[in-house]
């Protein structure tokens, strides 16, 4: 590889590793925007409606940038492993990204292990939940890594943004358990 080739590769790696701009997610107590979308559960197409889901208990909405990327895969695996705990707490979990339906079908089966659904977050949903991923001030068209717990009253009970996937399951599960204890 030439010196120029090495320089281009290093510049490309630097661009990928730049931190995203700070998120301005919805505040705790804010009314969660209602939405409906299509996604996949266990590789099968399914419809999701937030208002309908809230009738069954709190909802964990976790936004992630891109299926089959390292961090998003690890986060999906972690949510899958914790689904018995979320179920015991009466919570619905759904992952949301800008991925297309064929990608979501594969991701729901392979990485979510058929334990919870993933769905398409439209540009309008990404904007309504204030989870646009920006790099160097530019909108990427993707969502950042933000988890929300929405209470049955339709209000945000927890908002957590961090591109590092490791705390999302722990924090959302703690919040839904707290909501369960308050009943």
Question: Does any domain span residue 67?
Answer: yes
List the domain range (segments joined by +) for residue 114: 21-182
Task: Please state the domain count of the chain.
Answer: 1
Q: Which of left, alpha, beta for 134 (phi over 0: left; psi -120 to 50: alpha)?
A: beta
Residue 113 has pLDDT above 80, yes or no: yes
Question: Does any domain span residue 14?
Answer: no
Which CATH number goes with the domain that contains 155?
3.40.30.10
φ/ψ of 135, rounded to 5, equals -125, 125
Tell me the pLDDT tens digit for each residue of 117-145.
999 999 999 999 999 999 998 999 999 99
Question: Does any domain span residue 9?
Answer: no
What sign has the CA pseudo-torsion 163, 164, 169, 171? negative
Tell me the pLDDT tens digit for each residue of 2-32.
443 433 333 333 333 334 334 458 999 999 9
């Amino acid at each position: 590889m030439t010196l120029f080739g090495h320089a281009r590769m290093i510049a490309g790696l630097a661009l990928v590793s730049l931190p995203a701009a700070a998120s301005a997610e919805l505040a705790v107590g804010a009314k969660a925007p209602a939405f409906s979308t299509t996604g996949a559960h266990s590789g099968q197409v399914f419809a999701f409606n937030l208002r309908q889901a809230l009738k069954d208990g709190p909802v964990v909405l976790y936004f992630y940038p891109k299926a089959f990327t390292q961090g998003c895969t690890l986060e999906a695996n972690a949510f899958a492993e914790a689904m018995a705990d979320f179920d015991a707490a009466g919570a619905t979990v759904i992952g949301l990204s800008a991925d297309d339906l064929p990608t979501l079908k594969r991701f729901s089966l392979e990485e979510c292990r058929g334990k919870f659904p993933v769905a398409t977050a439209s540009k309008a949903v990404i904007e309504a939940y204030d989870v646009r991923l920006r790099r160097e001030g530019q909108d990427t068209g993707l969502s950042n890594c933000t988890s929300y717990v929405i209470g049955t009253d339709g209000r945000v009970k927890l908002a957590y943004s961090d591109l590092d996937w490791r705390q999302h399951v722990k924090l959302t599960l703690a919040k839904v358990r707290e909501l369960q204890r308050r009943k």
